[in-house]
Amino acid sequence: METIAPDTEKLRELDDEERRAWNEYYDDLQDLTGNEYERVELESWDTLQGELRRIEHSRQLLSASSSPPSG
């Protein structure tokens, strides 16, 4: 039971990080139009995708470390 609470807390932190990443993406694009929107959107999307990959990798590592050993 000791590992469940820290894992749950870490998952919540990762969820918060994911929300922050999406919010930053939307904030970057707010009030932009035309060419400026196009330019910033491409950069922001790349940044967002990198953050989402990092967060997903952290989730996978957490899941792997909390799985019981097989065999």
Q: Identify whether 21 is part of a domain.
A: yes
pLDDT of residue 65: 82
Q: Which amino acid is at 30?
A: Q
- Total domains in the chain come to 1
Q: What does the pLDDT average to over 5-26?
A: 94
pTM of the model: 0.80
Domain range spanning residue 7? 1-29+45-60
Q: Identify whether 38 is part of a domain.
A: no
19-55 pLDDT per residue, tens: 999 999 999 999 999 999 999 999 999 999 999 999 9
Q: Identify whether 13 is part of a domain.
A: yes
Whether 71 has a pLDDT exceeding 70, the answer reads no
pLDDT of residue 69: 63
Where b means 16+ CB within 10 Å and e means fewer, 9-24 reads: ebeeebeeebeebeee
Cβ-contact 46, 12 below 8 angstroms: no
pLDDT of residue 68: 66
